[in-house]
Amino acid sequence: MADTVKLPEDSFKPISADDRTALDSEKIAAPSLTFAQDAWRRLRKNKGAWISLIVLAIVFIMAFGSIFVSPHDPNAVNPSYANLPSKIPGIGINGFNGTLVQAGQRVDAYKQAGASNLHYIMGTDYLGRDLFSRVLYGTRISLIIALVATLFDLTIGVTYGMFSGWKGGRIDTIMQRIIEIILSIPNLVVIVLLILILKPGMTSIIIAIALTSWTNMARLVRAQTMELKEQEFILAARTLGERPMQIAFKHLLPNLSSVIIINTMFTIPNAIFFEATLSYIGIGISSPQASLGTLLNDGQKNFQFLPYQMWWPALVLSIIMLAFNLLGDGLRDAFDPRTKE
Amino acid sequence: MAKYLAKRIFYLVLTLFIVITVTFFLMKLLPGTPLTNQAKLSKSQIALIYEQYGLNKPVWQQYLLYLAGAVRGNFGTSFQFSDQPVSYLLSSRIGPSLQIGLQAMIFGVIIGIIVGSFGAMKQNTWVDTSATFVSILGISIPSFVLAVLLQYYLGLKLGWFPIAEWGGFIYTVLPTLALGATPLAESARFVRTEMVDVLSSDYIELAKAKGLSRTGVIYHHALRNSLIPLITIVGPLAVNIMTGSMVVENIFSIPGIGEQFVKSVLTNDYPTIMGLTIIYSFMLCVVLLFTDILYGIVDPRIRITGKAN
């Protein structure tokens, strides 16, 4: 040690407050984000998904808000105002101004019915019920069916998938065979058979959809569980003597949450679609209850002359499906940035 | 390969057996009788009718008889149409359904491939955006809404195609379009994602570096490799078409099995419902088996026999 470093005396003094701020300004660091914050940030960047989220929020608020505030009673029959086209005050475009073509002439249907001072945003149906209120009501029923069915299928699918993936071996093989058998019958056929046994109605539709659509969730959750259970933190938990139930809730479920949320976003539109199909065929919701499917079925009968009666429910149904699909895509990209190129 | 095939066929038979058993006992649980006006019939008449359809025997005997019949393709007699065997009813109706289903599948997948690969090639341009939009729209609009719109605008307003009934090829155009929308959208989405992946891989770089033309790279290298995984979604698409056909066939009054299924459900025609359920799952099983085998043949990287993962 020939050279000894001579440090000046003042380098051992505490730095002054001025110097400290000068040092901080050189720091380059973004605030550290949690996984959820990060996903949320990415979701907001995705325009389609963000708009879908807002649209869905509006649809939910309107559909469920209509329990308390509805423009008209969705079931109030008023034959003298039957089949009025949509009329939105202030809009003069044909199709929204309450006029309709009758015997080759465009006439004001509201004047004919003696209701010039009234306006129905989406018009009325063949019994004079306000279509807007009915669409809100139908959307609510469709959403309730889809959400409850999805909730059930979440529970069945996640439990089944976790159990199968965790146990592995023979139990896993048998459980997967069962799923394959269920998958080898088209879902709608099974749903129809179940509804026949349970008698048509809202509860049986929910049960039928829930009992058939969990397979996809179970498969995804199983695959993810098999991957997770090999990882060190699960091994650590096992070594520490945690019970499988505790591991499932504390360690597996949080790590599975993104898969579960994404898949739910695709299960909901599927359930809405199944419900609409069933009601459209005529074994779904029965009157006076209405869903988007029954509204479509009613509207389709008069489509040639009163096309708006089908356009409105079709539009609402398509928008809901579109929004869920876009949101699902956005969430997938947000939770797993690797999938996005 | 032979061992794998034997195993798969064994599973297919087992699946069908379970499907038959479950549907049979489900049908026995169903409320209501097949008699339209039970109150108007005397006891002896009911007994005669029950004997005609074999409903007077104990359930286990009926089950064995049904199973024995099903193996030979005999699904009993329809309740709705007297003296009409279910197998005859179905075999005369399966043709139109198969034709429309296959046409919809082929049309949807081919257009989907074109739309999807254009989207991937012109990534992040307006072409890509509109391709994505088409595919999202195709998934979001239910086939029965599309069917009614097509029927009205192309059929009635423009008069290009017949609005309903069953005749020559021209009658199949609208149902094919309505049913093909979802396969189109799904495959476009799928091909786009795959192709974007493939286009950024090393062998595409190599092909470009070798000086191959753009079309050569796309056609020989990119397209082929992105199409292979498409086989995996053929099964789900088949399910989608089967489901859609039940409503679409009704809208266009096509004498197919989908329309018959809805009719039988509404008239409590149990033997026909059972026969149709079995036919549907048989078709689906065959499609799934076929696609699995095809996948192994087309892509040598996937060895069927050692499916370790």
> Would you place residue B305 in the very low, low, confident or very high pLDDT band (cuts 50, 70, 90)?
very low
Contacts of A208 in chain B (CB under 8 A): none
Nearest to A293 by CA among A314, A321, A319: A314
DSSP code of residue A98: S
CB A41 within 8 A of CB A50: no
In CATH, the number for domain B95-255 is 1.10.3720.10
Q: Give the model's pLDDT for residue B306.
A: 45
Q: Give the model's pLDDT for residue A336.
A: 72
CA distance B157 to chain A (A): 10
Which amino acid, one-letter code, is at A90?
G
Size of chain B, expressed as the number of residues it contains = 309
Q: What is the 3 state secondary structure string of B229-240?
A: HHHHHHHHHHHH
Indicate whether A122 pLDDT > 80. no
Q: Give the model's pLDDT for residue B110.
A: 92
Least trusted range by pLDDT, from A153-162, A315-324, B32-41: B32-41
Tell me whether 0.85 is exceeded by the ipTM: no
The residue written with tokens 């749903």 in the block is A191
**What tokens appear for B216 in the block?**
């050569």
For residue A241, the Cα-to-chain-centroid distance in whole angstroms is: 39
Report, as an integer, the average pLDDT of A286-301.
Answer: 81
Element (H, E) at A60: helix A47-65
d(CA B80, CA B89): 11
Q: Give the torsion sign (CA, A334, A338, A339, A340).
A: positive
Longest dimension (CA), chain B: 87
Nearest to A315 by CA among B23, B142, B37, B216: B142
Indicate whether B64 pLDDT > 80. yes
Mean pLDDT of chain A: 81
CB burial class (10 A; 0-12, 13-18, 19+) of residue A34? exposed
Q: What is the 3 state secondary structure string of chain B?
A: CHHHHHHHHHHHHHHHHHHHHHHHHHHHHCCCCCCCCHHHCCHHHHHHHHHHCCCCCCHHHHHHHHHHHHHCCCCCECCCCCCCEHHHHHHHHHHHHHHHHHHHHHHHHHHHHHHHHHHHHCCCCHHHHHHHHHHHHHHHCCHHHHHHHHHHHHHHHCCCCCCCCCCCHHHHHHHHHHHHHHHHHHHHHHHHHHHHHHHCCHHHHHHHHCCCCHHHHHHHHHHHHHHHHHHHHHHHHHHHHHHHHHHHHHHCCCCCHHHHHHHHHHCCCHHHHHHHHHHHHHHHHHHHHHHHHHHHHHCCCCCCCCCCC
| Residue A56 or residue A81, greater confidence | A56
Report, as an integer, the average pLDDT of B142-155.
Answer: 84
Indicate whether A69 pLDDT > 80. no
Least trusted range by pLDDT, from A80-89, A150-159, A275-284: A80-89
Indicate whether A248 pLDDT > 70. yes
Mean pLDDT of chain B: 82
Would the CB atoms of B243 and A310 count as touching at under 8 Å? no
Contacts of A196 in chain B (CB under 8 A): 30, 265, 273
CB B247 within 8 A of CB A281: yes
> Would you place residue B38 in the very low, low, confident or very high pLDDT band (cuts 50, 70, 90)?
low
Q: Give the model's pLDDT for residue B106.
A: 92
Mean pLDDT is highest, among A56-60, A80-84, A191-195, A292-296, for A56-60
Q: Pick from B149, B196, B239: which is nearest to A187 by CB?
A: B239
CB A316 within 8 A of CB A144: no
CA distance A210 to chain B (A): 17
Chain segment A18-59, per-residue pLDDT in tens: 777 766 666 667 777 777 788 888 888 888 888 989 999 998
Mutate to test the interface with A, among B152, B204, B243, B249 (most CBs of A within 10 A): B243
Would the CB atoms of B288 and A184 count as touching at under 8 Å? yes
Give residue limits of the domains in chain B. Answer: 1-93+270-309, 95-255
Least trusted range by pLDDT, from A110-124, A245-259, B3-17: A110-124
Q: Give the model's pLDDT for residue B130.
A: 87
> Would you place residue B107 in the very low, low, confident or very high pLDDT band (cuts 50, 70, 90)?
very high
**What tokens appear for A190 in the block?**
């099974």
Indicate whether B86 pLDDT > 90. no
Indicate whether B190 pLDDT > 60. yes
